[in-house]
Amino acid sequence: MSALAQQEFCISLSDLASFMDIAPSAVKLKAEKHLQKKIKSPWLLPEEVRTLLLAEGYKYPQKVISVQMLKGG
């Protein structure tokens, strides 16, 4: 993945650590445990972050999205 894509779509371990109120090294250990892979990059992909947060008990808020169209004529 390119550096631009990492900056735009991924979250750094330090940013995730501040969100979770724990040390970045603890986030890395938890990510390696829950994702079952060695973390070499300081970035996590969105699906990896979601998996980690759900494993830690974070509840995503429910949203209702409504799409409406009006055709005039």
**Mean pLDDT score of the chain, rounded to an integer?**
88
Q: What is the total residue count of the chain? A: 73
- φ/ψ (deg, to 5) at 69: -130, 145
Domain extent listing, the chain: 3-55
Claim: this prediction has a pTM higher than 0.85: no
What does the chain look like in DSSP terms, one character per residue?
A: --HHHHHHH-EEHHHHHHHHTS-HHHHHHHHHHHHTS---SSEE-HHHHHHHHHHTT--PPP-----------
Provide the pLDDT confidence category of residue 8 given band limits of 50, 70 and 90.
confident
